[in-house]
Amino acid sequence: MNAPAKDLHARSDWTRAEIADLFALPFPELMFRAATVHRTHFDPSQVQISQLLSIKTGGCPEDCGYCTQSVHNKTGLKATKLMEVEAVVAEARAAKATGVSRFCMGAAWRNPKEKDLDQVCAMVEGVKALGMETCVTLGMLTSDQATRLKEAGLDYYNHNLDTSPEYYRHVITTRTYQDRLDTLEAVRDAGINVCCGGIVGMGENLEDRVGLIHALATLPVHPESVPINLLVGTGTPAAETSPKLPNLEFVRTIAVARITMPKSMVRLSAGREDMSDEAQALCFMAGANSIFYGPKLLTTPNPVADTDRALFAKLGITPMPLD
């Protein structure tokens, strides 16, 4: 049970009522059920480690209310050009030396232009040649673009659903929920693994967290990776207007994701910087088995690798080896 399960066949007919019932379980019962499911498919003492690099920061025309990279959100972030291929591969090489097995590259675009896609494909080829898994997040994709990325050797494409279909219009207006589902379908059809999750703590209610998990767990094939983010986005409309989500509610969301998508990697993503060791330990006990290493997640602060290594040592957790 060392490696992530590749056969993702699991039930995709969850009802909202069933998912709401899981969220409503007494906390110890929910944790027990999630931990039991986790052990059925994974070694609970192993956590997969990814690193995320922003290869093109800021200046994004989309209006995602949680994002510091949107031109609609006055966060003072300076936009940059797309990085050179050699610089990206050098970052990946350094990450590999610290035990990182998957290198994720993010560009703040609505969708990639053809010329830029050529450059990203070269990055994917370069990182792949280091023996690492590759992941990119570039916005909306056509089927042809997904095929080109697959041919370059891309392993994972990240594209989040963000929140429930009902709450979505409060967060983003420049693309639809269906646009997101269409990109996910193009990625899946191209034979690329899907990384898809969401963000909680954006002022949504419990029913919306139920709706987010329901949308993810009823995809025809579950995403291989399910990142669950806790809103950070300092200076964004969502961060300025949303009350902080209690950590225990975040842990509940992780646990319900684990139970409903038993064979997926559930990634503890943005928000770890503000979590205590104890809160992160609860997330691992609830079934989270993937994290991002590195001081930044695109533009969001993240614990430095030394802090994570110390936490792993305290918890007896080891990095999950590549399949």
- The contact set with ligand SF4 (CB under 6 A) reads 60, 62, 64, 67, 69-70, 108, 139
What is the bridge-based pairing of β-strands 296-297 and 300-301? antiparallel
CA dist., res. 251 & res. 27, Å (int): 9
Which among 279, 298, 159 has a CA at the least distance from the CA of 236? 298
Considering the candidates 33, 102, 121, 135, report the single residue annotated as catalytic. 135
* Residue 60 annotated among the catalytic residues of the structure: yes
Catalytic residue among 33, 60, 180, 196: 60
For ligand SF4, the closer CB: 31 or 67:
67
Nearer to ligand SF4, 46 or 70 (CB): 70
Active site residue 121: no
Taking the complex as a whole, how short is the minimal distance between the CB of residue 292 and ligand SF4, in angstroms? 16
Distance CA 66, CA 320 (A): 31
Report which of 177, 173, 133 is spatially closest to residue 159, judged by C-alpha positions: 177
Give the span between the Cα atoms of 124 and 286, in whole angstroms: 33
Strand partners, 103: 51, 134
Residue with tokens 């957790």: 317
Nearer to ligand SF4, 42 or 109 (CB): 109
Catalytic site residue from 121, 175, 188, 195: 195
Q: How far apart are CA 13 and CA 260, in angstroms?
A: 10
* Least distance CB 305 / ligand SF4 (angstroms): 24
User: Is 283 in the active site?
Assistant: no
Output the smallest distance, CB 197 to ligand SF4, in A: 13
Cβ nearer to ligand SF4, comparing 54 with 289: 54
267 part of the active site: yes
The tokens for 194 are 């899907």
Answer whether 263's CB lies under 8 Å from 8's CB. yes
Q: How far is the CB of 100 from ligand SF4 (least distance, A)?
A: 22
User: Looking at 175, 267, 272, 283, which residue is catalytic?
Assistant: 267
CB of 69 to ligand SF4, least distance (A): 4
Question: DSSP for 224-276?
Answer: SEEEEEEP--TTSHHHHHPPPPPHHHHHHHHHHHHHHSTTSEEEE-TTGGGS-
Residue closer to ligand SF4 by CB (options 67, 231) is 67
Q: Would you name the residues annotated as active-site residues?
A: 60, 64, 67, 104, 135, 195, 267
